[in-house]
Amino acid sequence: MTKKIITVFGATGLQGGSVANTFLHDPKLKDDWTVRAVTRNTTKDAAKKLEARGAEVVSADLDDKASLIKAMEGASAVFAVTNYWEHLDKQREITQGKNLVDAAQATGVNHFIWSSLPNVTKLSNNTLTHVYHFDSKAEVEEYARAAGIPATFFHAGFYMSNVPGKIMRPSPAHDGAWTLSLPIPPSAPVPVYDTDDTGKFIKAAVLNRDAVLGKRILGATEYMPLDGLVDAFKRVFPEAGKTARYQQVSDEAHRDVLLNQSKLPEFVVEDLMENFEGFRRFGYYFGESLDETHKLVEDKLTTYEEFLRKETTGFPADLK
């Protein structure tokens, strides 16, 4: 029996890497699917490891539509993802996404799975118009829908990896206590997501293709309150967690941190601040339930505590 091909973009990254690994090793998928792993640089170690595990590794450039068409030729399914943070350019990401849609249409892909996000501008009735890293992906989703290609839209949740050592870290102002500070109430529910689980969601999409065409898959394990993230930290790291806390800060204070400590460009700060305001007013998924997605996913999703127990990036060695 000839195997079907799934073309996986960003195959050496967080989302695409998980999809590639799942289709290479999952008992329900590995005998039916060949992974065509797409990366810009086929000589880097991550690409070589994928090839050693049985993937066909090919090079393509998101800015070069002809290379995308070549990468999708003969593929039954495609997982497509772009990275806004690489170039910090909304229009470039939209163009790259549209290139992917056009290539899928040109090659007759049977199932195009786009890593998307909600359209904050539209869903907020034009009150939040600067959340570029959401709206760029949403515009590509709309373009794919208008094109009429058979597509499903994966909406990744809040990366668990964004918390330890990044937005939660020891605070010199509080004697080194681990502090999670954001301009959002502590009870605000956050859809937490381990990027290693991406393949589980995309597996569910592929195995339930007809049921999910035109629909969204919400990539999250559960909704957790922000202070719940701190509570989980305390349970996993009881010594460091003795003084750990959540601190709700003002918009002004957080904006100052992003501008003057993190040294982010003004438009990126505006993006993030409106993103936080959207959290407060509407929620990350604008109130959507995770239940429909969870009914489709047959593999156990990673809890935040489980993520903390396996994760090492961002933590000092003595915390383990």
Residue-wise pLDDT tens for the chain (320 aa)?
799 999 999 999 999 999 999 999 999 999 999 999 999 999 999 999 999 999 999 999 999 999 999 999 999 999 999 999 999 999 999 999 999 999 999 999 999 999 999 999 999 999 999 999 999 999 999 999 999 999 999 999 999 999 988 899 888 766 778 999 999 999 999 999 999 999 999 999 999 999 999 999 999 999 999 999 999 999 999 988 899 999 999 999 999 999 998 899 999 999 999 999 999 999 999 999 999 999 999 999 999 999 999 875 555 544 54
pLDDT at 312: 57
For 235, the enclosing helix (H) or strand (E) is: helix 226-236
Q: Phi and psi of 188, rounded to 5°?
A: -60, 130
- Quote the CA–CA distance of 264 and 241 in Å, as a whole number: 29
Q: Could you state, in order of their start, the residue ranges of all structural domains in the chain?
A: 4-158+194-220+284-299
pLDDT at 317: 47
- Quote the CA–CA distance of 157 and 25 in Å, as a whole number: 24
Its pTM stands at: 0.95
- The dotted CATH code for 4-158+194-220+284-299 is 3.40.50.720
- Quote the CA–CA distance of 294 and 292 in Å, as a whole number: 6
- Quote the CA–CA distance of 182 and 163 in Å, as a whole number: 11
Q: Give DSSP secondary structure letters for 122-164.
A: HHTTTS----HHHHHHHHHHHHHHHHT--EEEEEE-EEGGGTB
pLDDT at 171: 80
